Structure 1
């Protein structure tokens, strides 16, 4: 049933199969590495263990849906006039696609086994990656993301909590070996050590979760990344086994999101933003954050033809956007 629903990987873990998760989460939050993601503090008790969210849970079914790209995720690095959007966000909103598929599997399980079930995608306080590792889908790599021997770094994760006592799969062993390619690839040194991420330095966090001005120390390193960053995922050697044919077709890139023009993005108003990004996970960051990101990319582009639209943005109603435009103009004039 999982395959029929569109998942390329699945496994089962006991609800208590990742006992170190709560302590590791607590330590990470105490360090402040989660930045502005205050909801992670607020949901810590429920997030640390499946039973903290649902006391009746006995087993966790972890499922992975592939979004493996056909081309090189880093191909736009040398196209300064274009914005780089993370592979996962170039197609349909994974929240909707994965949740619909999870509900289909959970409904089948409830009907055939009479089980109590709850489904979760990443908007819920669930630690999907340690649970997926415990269920044998893959392992958390040194970049803290899940790595699969079959799907590489390109998996959306979901979980079904159930009252059933299911036979668990074997946990997956870590297979990174001595490789540190993902750590070396990070443009902003967001990994203080293997298996540790400081979100405050991560371009994905800065372009998506962070609402205020992006710290200047990271702006040049952002290059033309305007939503997320694939660098640590893209360089993983295990991706050579990832078959794009296994990817769910809902995540095929939309033409307007595969290589968007910075000039077009800088000209967006609220209505234009909603039209372009309807049905995409990008819609949740809103026009202002997107234009802020595009302005920084413009400042890094070296393209004088972007000066007029940046000049208009210096008077933007949103001061964060206006400040990013002023910074971009200063950078273009200096270089």
Structure 2
């Protein structure tokens, strides 16, 4: 019947994650290849029939962002023209999400632009993990399954010594997610209030909650330059927090000088996921996989089962 066949395709950005997702589903990756023409144009070739199939493309729009986004769009167009029944874009890390509104005059809203591009290319559904801004779901006119890695990160932290720990939100915007993690771990929460001086520079001005004598767990959705993390660490230390700080984040964007900042002696461990490939060897950075979470979401979507059952309470 139409839609009974489930196919998993792999983009060029996250091949290891796509292969792991397929293994969790007990399947092989479908035969689709991505390459480039000599001038850099993206090229996609699908080497098997997808007519009437339920197709899933695993592709983060991480660095090089524009290339990986274009590759995803070309992949969707290829599947649409090959008569796939449904095209599902599995985007573990959704790039351009930070530009979700106009902060100043004459600025674009590129999160909405990317949503428009994906729908024009033929996407019928989007599956993503920890969007930088939840309202991006509303930018789409197709279903969006917004997963979270909080359960994965929280379950890992539960196996550690959490005595005298406090979950810290690095800004007000992440307070809800930090509270969910704190509830999961049974810990108190503190919130830092930051003032944004420029698109890449912020400063901490207030702290809500007790951190003196505590071991902070800073929780964020992504680490880009680690500027927010660095300033949070300094603010917490000035307020008497112990120099045993753990950092958890879903997306290891890690643009310079992120790794240098994360080497701060007060940061004992950094936990991230594989929504973006990290191939460094910094011993304090531990990578947890979202492959099983994505596989479960794909299977539930394919079976027309509940996806919300995968969300932590």
Q: In proportion to residue count, which structure has more strand?
A: 2
Query: Which structure has the higher relative contact order (CA within 8 Å, separation 6+)?
Result: 1
Q: In proportion to residue count, which structure has more helix?
A: 1
Given the two structures, how large is their TM-score scaled by the length of structure 1?
Answer: 0.26
Given the two structures, how large is their TM-score scaled by the length of structure 2?
Answer: 0.27
